[in-house]
Structure 1
């Protein structure tokens, strides 16, 4: 192959017109032949996985199709170390000029650290590390379990739509054991070296005021879950990460624009050290802005993810 460059289509050996069924079939064939457990090459398996994750997602594929370098061109391929091995044509984000210098973005394809195959790599398979959702809501106790499962499922769906689908490096872990007691944390989202502890509430529609600890509606107040102690404990356990606590407020009817939340001064959602509260419609904008603003936001740190999945607090 001229110049050693390959597009994602060439890695999976499909035509650029291949449909979803053909891409899935090609991925299964390629994964079987390249998986390290089957005697394949770990780096080639990683490229196969990256190609599949891009081509199976219509939005990612559309961006890739607008910007990938044809085989044999050197305009935007990523070379293997020392010029050896395959070179893969990477997508160019919309609006970026060829040759422009920019730092890593949360919308870039994920970069695993340490690289798979290295001596420092955590004992985590590429398949597991590539999954964006881990775990599921846990049915804790009896009272209110159904309502809790509903709001947790809604939050997972929102995080999938507004965060995971936008940021390829994002990883969602559900049902972690809290590092400060035997309770469970509803959700934790990791993007690069930023971590968000996420819980949820469901309150009737209407206008509320958030004062930092309570949602006030008329003369009544609704206390929010106490997430800050867990966030502070996680910050100590993962000093390389910036950790923040978030509450997503749902309405019973599922209207993302209800309830309406006003904020007292200093309590606007910004990812700061206070408890951040957002409605469903604002989750992607506010939480996404916090997560994507960190250093190396396209990184998936295998050691951090491995500790989270193993509950190694």
Structure 2
């Protein structure tokens, strides 16, 4: 384990959900092994000490976890997070000739497998019980004004994904309430399945016909600004180069009709089409299921990515 190749959690060999007591126990063990007086390496001992000091301070750990989720580091020693290289896990799931292809409806497979925990010194990034959950977090009250309306529309999206997407794709993981890595805003929802990630924003608008041209949403001659997701999608794509990241804005109707309002898609640039889509609830259920199911190894739970996303929850 060389400097700059591992996170503080990996240096201490603990999960990202480790408690204060677990951090202390891990530090004492790692310090004994790496201390120069015990024949250890001075540089390794400094990394162990830095990891302990950072994770034991609630404020420093919180800042570090945000950096962990974003794949960056704020430490002076230049250590960075070891995001898997593009295709590194995918290579292990390449289909051999005459073997059935994995489909989205197959039981979830964890990469790396939790069976590796039997190896000496191995600690999974997150506990198995956490990784097997399909829903993480709930919409939270942010600020005072408009919180009730925001929670209402976000809860509709949670219910839609929970009922329409998750049962059909066992490996899909819904994470609610992420802090945006692009600015100080928040991401309503993220859905991870295999090597595909969907960033989702929610709106609640009156019934009627709306037109989306790739930049603005128009209704009755009036322009309505949907959630600005393009810059968030680009940032998440930079953070997770091994994934295919897209953005979705789902518009709910007041009466809960999944097919309302009607969204007309006018001709627009391909880049806008690929990056963010504006749809009603029925369109999200249909489009998101197709997007996640058509990716490579859609029955895979990418544990390192999931762990980083969970550390980015506000």
TM-score range, shorter chain: 0.5 to 0.7
Q: Give the counterpart of 1:197 among 193, 199, 218.
A: 199
SS at match of 2:115: coil
Q: Give the TM-score, by structure 1 length.
A: 0.64
Runs (5+) with no aligned partner, structure 1: 1-99
1:271 CA displacement: 9.8
1:117 CA displacement: 3.2
Question: 1:292 aligns to what?
Answer: 293
1:101 CA displacement: 4.2
1:272 CA displacement: 5.0
Contact 1:121 1:302 (8 Å CA) reproduced: no
Matched, 1:311 2:312: yes
Question: 1:182 aligns to what?
Answer: 184
Contact 2:203 2:252 (8 Å CA) reproduced: yes
Contact 1:213 1:275 (8 Å CA) reproduced: no
Contact 1:244 1:272 (8 Å CA) reproduced: no
1:267 CA displacement: 7.0
1:295 CA displacement: 0.7
Question: 1:145 aligns to what?
Answer: 147
RMSD, matched Cα? 2.1
Residue deviations 1:4-23 (CA, integer Å, cap 9, x gap): xxxxxxxxxxxxxxxxxxxx
Question: 1:83 aligns to what?
Answer: none
Contact 1:210 1:267 (8 Å CA) reproduced: no
Runs (5+) with no aligned partner, structure 2: 1-97
Contact 1:152 1:200 (8 Å CA) reproduced: yes
Question: 2:102 aligns to what?
Answer: 104
Contact 2:176 2:190 (8 Å CA) reproduced: yes
SS at match of 1:308: helix
The size of the alignment, in residue pairs, is: 213
Greater RCO, CA 8 A, separation 6+: 2
Misfit runs of 4+, over 6 Å: none
Matched, 1:117 2:119: no
Residue deviations 1:222-265 (CA, integer Å, cap 9, x gap): 11110111111111111110000000001112111111111102
SS at match of 1:273: helix
Query: Mean alpha-carbon deviation: is it higher for 170-179 or for 284-293?
Result: 284-293
Contact 1:271 1:290 (8 Å CA) reproduced: no
